[in-house]
Each structure stands twice: as C-alpha cells, then as structure tokens.
C-alpha cells in the first residue's frame, strides 16, 4: 500500500527504542525521513521529560532529534488548559516536564484554589497529594489527566503509570478526568496543529494498538502499527477487540514502514 500523506506522527517507546535501547534501524529510518524532507514529530504520552529532555534521550541513543520536533502529553495538556482559560491556575501532580509546560503556556502554578488539577506521572506521589487532589476537585477544580497509561516499562520490569495515579484520584473523587494523551485524540490534534497538517495529510506510526493506533484513528489519521513493542501478532486480536479499531497498515519493522508508505511520494 502506498499513500500520498504528507507527514508523520511517530511514537517513541516501543517504536524507536525500548527504554535505553534503540530499536534496530530506528536511527537510519529517521535519517531517511530527514533526507527526504518528510515532516514529522515525535509524539509521546510521557509527561515527565521536557521536550529538550526527550530530544537529549533520543540523541543519546543515536537518533537525531531536536526539542522542536517533540510533542508530549504535558505540552498538549498545558495547551488544552490555556485554550480553555488563558489565565487559569493549576495544581500539578507531576514532574518537571509537566510543571515547565504549564508555566511555558502562561498558566499559574498554585496549591490553593486552582481552576484545574493537572496530573501526570509522579514518582513522588503520596497519600497527602491524593488527599489534596480530592479536596480541590470536590471544591470545583477540573481534573485533567496527561495520559492514561497504567503501566510503564523499565529496564528492571513494569512500573505504575500516570493512569494508575489517575485511577486513584478518580476513585476518591468520583470524577473522571479529561484525558489528553493517547488514546485520546487531543494529543494528536495538538501535534497536527504543531506540524501544520490536517488529519487527512498525516500518518500515525506506533507499536501500541490500544494507544497509538486508537488515538490516530480517533483523530482521523492513517495508522501504521509496527510489531516492535506492545502489540504483537499473539495479542493483536485481543487489542483490536479492546480498542475497537484496527491499524490501516501492519509492519514487522520500520524498514517495512518505508516500503509500505512509498516515502518517495511524501515530500511531493
């Protein structure tokens, strides 16, 4: 299958690398996109790193990247709040990447009577923070979740993700959050705006049918599933049933993505 789509939204963990290990062919694939002048952004649910931090990690792995090419759930969440209410105040449960995104969008960080409770991954999450979130949301603050990932892969096994913390806050408050990251379309729509493309001109490439592919489909993009991470041949039917979507194109690796998309047409 070939396509005349003009740009790519590319997932990171499981698609280009596994934690601190680059996936074979990832560096050459990105370099090929650059040589063909194909527009793309790296789109990640990770809210803990700043765009520069994400770019530094990619560069460390040998994958060329700049902060301007990075789109995180933290950035999209801060943009979403600023669009709703440009002068609002925010209580953040999260790490540096999320706090910096909030201040970069001109929003005020506060722990007293905020307009929003914005929560991402927080490896210093405590019962006290849960209590504070409960009381602030009960007092009228809107609950925003950067991403619903329940588990995170690490070099020594799985870790609880931002969605696990979000589930505890939702259980305590009885309030479901507005979800920004994949599988929500909000992150993808923000990335499309950043890239200057409509959904009809974009392709989403990722390894997780439940997040990457579901988000791409929700946004109206062509989707390419790479079998290098979360979704595999063995669990694909389960993931398809759970997500309610199928990938438009399925590839074993990134080299197959190049062939399937016919990259020579993308820069025309």
Paired strand residues for 248: none
The DSSP-derived string for 194-249 is: HHT--GGGEEEEES-IIIIIHHHHHHT-EEEEETTSS--TTTHHHHHHHHT---SE
Cα separation of 146 and 46, whole Å? 8
Asked if residues 146 and 187 have their Cβ atoms less than 8 Å apart, the reply is no
Within the chain, what is the greatest distance between any pair of CA atoms? 55
- Edge to edge, what strands does the sheet with 7-10 contain? 70-72, 40-44, 7-10, 202-206, 222-226, 249-251
Determine the straight-line distance between the first and last CA of the chain, rounded to whole angstroms.
17
Question: Is residue 123 helix, strand or coil?
Answer: coil
Q: Check 13, 115, 207, 248 and give the catalytic one.
A: 13
Asked if 11 is an active-site residue, the reply is yes
Which listed residue (11, 149, 201, 212) is catalytic?
A: 11
**207 an active-site residue?**
no
Instruction: Give the torsion through C-alpha atoms of 159, 163, 166, 170, to 10 deg.
Output: -120
256: its two tokens: 């197959």
Tally of CB atoms within 10 A around 58:
23
Q: Where in the sequence numbering do the catalytic residues fall?
A: 11, 13
């Amino acid at each position: 299958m070939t396509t005349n789509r003009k740009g790519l939204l590319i997932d990171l963990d499981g698609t280009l690398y596994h934690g601190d290990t680059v996936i074979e062919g990832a560096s050459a694939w990105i370099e090929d996109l650059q040589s063909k002048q194909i527009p793309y952004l790296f789109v990640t649910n990770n809210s803990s790193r700043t765009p520069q931090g994400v770019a530094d990690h990619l560069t460390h792995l040998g994958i060329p990247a700049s902060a301007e090419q990075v789109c995180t759930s933290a950035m999209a969440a801060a943009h979403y709040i600023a669009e709703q209410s440009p002068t609002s105040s925010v209580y953040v449960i999260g790490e540096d990447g999320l706090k910096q995104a909030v201040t970069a969008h001109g929003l005020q960080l506060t722990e007293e009577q905020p307009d929003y409770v914005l929560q991402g991954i927080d490896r210093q999450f405590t019962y006290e923070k849960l209590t504070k979130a409960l009381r602030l949301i009960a007092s009228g603050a809107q609950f925003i979740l950067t991403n619903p990932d329940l588990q995170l892969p690490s070099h020594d096994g799985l870790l609880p993700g931002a969605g696990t913390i979000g589930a505890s806050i939702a259980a305590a408050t009885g309030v479901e959050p507005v979800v920004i990251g994949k599988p929500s379309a909000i992150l993808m729509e923000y990335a499309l705006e950043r890239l200057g493309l409509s959904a009809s001109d974009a392709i989403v490439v990722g390894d997780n049918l439940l997040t990457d592919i579901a988000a791409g489909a929700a946004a109206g993009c062509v989707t390419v599933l790479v079998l290098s991470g979360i979704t595999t041949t063995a669990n694909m039917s389960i993931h398809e049933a759970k997500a309610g979507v199928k990938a438009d194109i399925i590839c074993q690796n990134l080299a197959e993505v190049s062939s399937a998309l016919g990259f020579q047409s993308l820069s025309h």
